[in-house]
Amino acid sequence: MKYSKIIPCLDIKDGRVVKGVKFTDLKDARDPAEAAGYYCASGADELVFLDIAATVENRGTLLDVLRRTAAKVTVPLAVGGGIRSAEDAKAVLGAGASKVAVNTAAVRRPALIAELAGEFGSERVVAAIDGMRGENGKFLVCVNGGGTATDADAAEWAAECERLGAGEILLTSFDADGTKAGYDIEMTRAVADAVKIPVTASGGAGTLEHIYEALTAGGAQNALVASLFHFNELTVRQVKEYLKSRGIAVDMSMYR
């Protein structure tokens, strides 16, 4: 059975898990290794570890923090931030990641996706896309940690990422991020309709219903959640039990 995954996100800055609104006003949430262990024990299907300052600071992923976090992880771990080459990806995978997520570097040099897929396999390559609403209803790709909008269409770029070899899409709405006002359903649907690979919706989860909407009306296969989990408003189990009650296939085996 194909399950919808519930994926806590660890946004990392200065070695700590943080969470803000629209990528700014960051608040300290917890230690990443502690968070990883807790979420794995709580039934998370995967974890995402994003070194959100790596690109802006023009450096690679904080491998020491990643190693310490990965040591507590018992589920697949996707890692992004500062991955600009196959060498960077190899270092991240060697430090405990299951797959790598690329964003700005891939927008600047799309061949990076093909290189990573060729060396490590599509199943280990995630195309992370930060999208925002532009003029005339277009959904534009953002780079540099959401700080710079491009003229690239998010759905078209997602399709190109798939063609180049990405195995999945992690789509974050810049406009909705941290607002708890709900995922950008229209943008999520546009991207999901443009590709055949799984899409994980990210940015804006504020209620159980929001997560359900992302997986139904939004067409996403999986849902990424941050604030609701970090600040103990909901647990992974509560989310899964709700989704199951609404007819969504989720993996409940860890609760038996």
pLDDT in tens, 70-106: 999 999 999 999 899 999 999 999 999 999 999 999 9
pLDDT beyond 60 at 24:
no
Q: Per-residue pLDDT averaged across 3-27, rounded?
A: 76
Confidence band for 5, pLDDT divided at 50, 70 and 90: very high
* Average pLDDT estimate for 110-131: 98
Q: Where are the beta strands (DSSP E) in 36-124?
A: 47-51, 77-80, 99-102
Burial of 218 (0-12, 13-18, 19+ CB in 10 A): buried
- pLDDT of 14 reads 80
SS3 152: strand
Cα–Cα distance for residue pair 5/11, rounded to 1 Å: 18
> What is the pLDDT, as a whole number, of residue 22?
52
Q: Which of 49, 30, 33, 51 lies closest to 41 in space, CA to CA?
A: 33
Q: Looking at the predicted structure, is the pLDDT value of residue 21 above 70?
A: no
Share of the chain above pLDDT 70, in %: 93
Residues that are catalytic:
11, 130
- Select from 207, 216, 212 the least CA-distant residue to 180: 207
Give the predicted TM-score (pTM) of the model.
0.94
With 80 as the cut, is the pLDDT of residue 146 above it? Answer: no
**pLDDT tens-digit profile of 180-199?**
999 999 999 999 999 999 99
**Helix, strand or coil for residue 162?**
helix
